[in-house]
Amino acid sequence: MKIIKLSQAHNFNKQDFDEMVVALGYFDGVHKGHQKVILKAKEIAETKGYKSAVMTFTPHPLTVLRNQVEEDCITSLEEKIQLIERFEIDLLFIVEFTKEFASLLPQQFIDEYIINLNVKHVVAGYDFTYGSLGKGTMETLPFHSRNQFLYTTVEKQTDHARKISSSLIRKVVRSGDVTYAQTLLGRPYSVNGLVIHGDKRGRTIGFPTANIEVGEGYLLPPTGVYAVTATVRGKEYKGVCNIGFKPTFNKEKAARPSIEVHIFDFHSEIYDENVAVSWYKRIRSEQKFNNVEELIEQITKDKTAALQFFMQKTV
Ligand SMILES: Cc1cc2nc3c(=O)[nH]c(=O)nc-3n(C[C@H](O)[C@H](O)[C@H](O)COP(=O)(O)O)c2cc1C
Ligand SMILES: Nc1ncnc2c1ncn2[C@@H]1O[C@H](COP(=O)(O)OP(=O)(O)OP(=O)(O)O)[C@@H](O)[C@H]1O
């Protein structure tokens, strides 16, 4: 997949590109609704012999337009790129979203970012908007197309009558229902981070853990214990994860919860390495135990619960 960054007043024109079909949107999470849009573009590209493309924007339009602090993202830009790559898309346009870009009139956006890039077919969801104040909609698209391209509108994708959306997924992950998040995303909710040094207590209680540091602004499930997988050095392992403040040992609550994964059947040293944690099922809330023995007893049960979950999952 070729990645092309576009800033305003880019110098590309039609001759620079093969004819293409483009899927438009911000695509935070690349959830099932987004996937439908991207796959539709791919399907049309295959039937018509066009290149397939996705156009996304960074940073999030709301941070630029309403000076909002960026919402916790479901996928960082790098993760979004990786996920879109899995659909075997030919081109990914990453448009720098600035105040100037946002002030483009709908017709200017279409002229400069669609017609000028040799786009022959546009795919977007029923509620996609473009141009200043979101004045361009799927209804105005035929007018703005100047008969230079066709378009396909993807109808609302729902789960039990609720629109599958990034905001619904954020709400669901924050509530701890990582199993439902998986349904909406079409894959488990995951975060990437680096393994940092912890208090080194884990190994002394028989449950060594990889402490994962994730970047700020990452959406996290609430504190508690979860059945997870950890992908390390390209291999996926099952495990059990505690997100929390370890109240059994810590009197003072840290500023941010720690994310600790006890990875099953894994014994390598992985400090400073990248680990992707995927959340499958919430097992329980974090508790303050009276002593280490009680904690060990409970973690043993948590491990059994996670193993049972993964055993049932593969049946
Ligand atoms: C599956 C699992 C469940 C845990 N549950 C709790 C808990 O309920 N309460 C708590 O205080 N700590 C809990 N912990 C955190 C342990 O206290 C922590 O792993 C141990 O102190 C080692 O910390 P360290 O990696 O910083 O050395 C849990 C850890 C794991 C792996
Ligand atoms: N549930 C859905 N059904 C159909 N199309 C969708 C759905 N969710 C998003 N889309 C479309 O996917 C593209 C990317 O969506 P984008 O991230 O820009 O905005 P969105 O509609 O606000 O998505 P979300 O609400 O998930 O943040 C757009 O064309 C949008 O219309």
DSSP code at position 126: T
Residue 201, domain member (yes or no):
yes
Express each pLDDT in 178-235 by its tens digit. Answer: 999 999 999 999 999 999 998 888 788 999 999 999 988 789 999 999 999 999 999 9
- Average pLDDT rounded to a whole number, residues 61-70: 69
Domain termination site, one of 109, 143, 159 = 159
Share of the chain above pLDDT 70, in %: 97
- Tally of domains within the chain: 2
Question: 214: buried, middle or exposed (CB in 10 Å: 19+, 13-18, 0-12)?
Answer: middle
Q: Which two tokens stand for residue 7?
A: 């800033």
Q: Taken in order 22, 25, 29, 33, is the CA torsion positive or negative?
A: negative
Enclosing H/E stretch for 71: none
Ligand 1 binding residues, C-beta < 6 A: 198-202, 207, 209, 211, 225, 240, 242, 246-249, 260, 262, 286-287, 295, 299, 302
- Say whether both 208 and 150 belong to one domain: no
- Average pLDDT rounded to a whole number, residues 103-114: 97
Residue 252, domain member (yes or no):
yes
Distance from residue 285's CA to the centre of ligand 1 (Å): 12
Of the listed ligands, the closest to the CA of 251 is 1
Enclosing H/E stretch for 269: none
Share of the chain above pLDDT 90, in %: 87
Residue 170, domain member (yes or no):
no
Interacting residues of 25 by C-beta distance below 8 A, sequence separation 6+: 34, 37, 55, 56, 124, 125, 128
Residue 176, domain member (yes or no):
no
3-state helix, strand, coil in the chain (%, to 5): 30, 30, 40
pTM: 0.93
Of the listed ligands, the closest to the CA of 84 is 2
Residue 168, domain member (yes or no):
no
Whole-angstrom distance, CA of residue 279 vs CA of residue 267: 21
220 three-state secondary structure: coil
- Say whether both 28 and 73 belong to one domain: yes
- Say whether both 6 and 154 belong to one domain: yes
Strand 224-232 to strand 210-213: parallel, antiparallel, or no bridges (unpaired)? unpaired
- Say whether both 141 and 43 belong to one domain: yes
User: ipTM of the assembly?
Assistant: 0.89
- Average pLDDT rounded to a whole number, residues 285-305: 97
Whole-angstrom distance, CA of residue 166 vs CA of residue 156: 14
Q: Which domain holds residue 11?
A: 2-159
Whole-angstrom distance, CA of residue 126 vs CA of residue 154: 6
- Say whether both 154 and 9 belong to one domain: yes
C-alpha distances in angstroms, 4 versus 12, 76, 146, 245?
11, 17, 25, 42
- Say whether both 145 and 52 belong to one domain: yes
- Say whether both 127 and 195 belong to one domain: no
- Say whether both 153 and 54 belong to one domain: yes
Mean pLDDT for the chain overall: 94
- Say whether both 106 and 197 belong to one domain: no
Domain termination site, one of 159, 178, 201 = 159
pLDDT beyond 60 at 152: yes
Neighbours of 272 (CB within 10 A): 9
Residue 172, domain member (yes or no):
no
- Say whether both 154 and 194 belong to one domain: no
pLDDT beyond 60 at 51: yes
Domain holding 112: CATH number?
Answer: 3.40.50.620
Residue 167, domain member (yes or no):
no
Residue 164, domain member (yes or no):
no
To test the ligand 1 pocket, which listed residue (245, 246, 263, 288) has its Cβ within 8 A of the most ligand atoms? 246
- Say whether both 154 and 54 belong to one domain: yes
Domain holding 217: CATH number?
Answer: 2.40.30.30
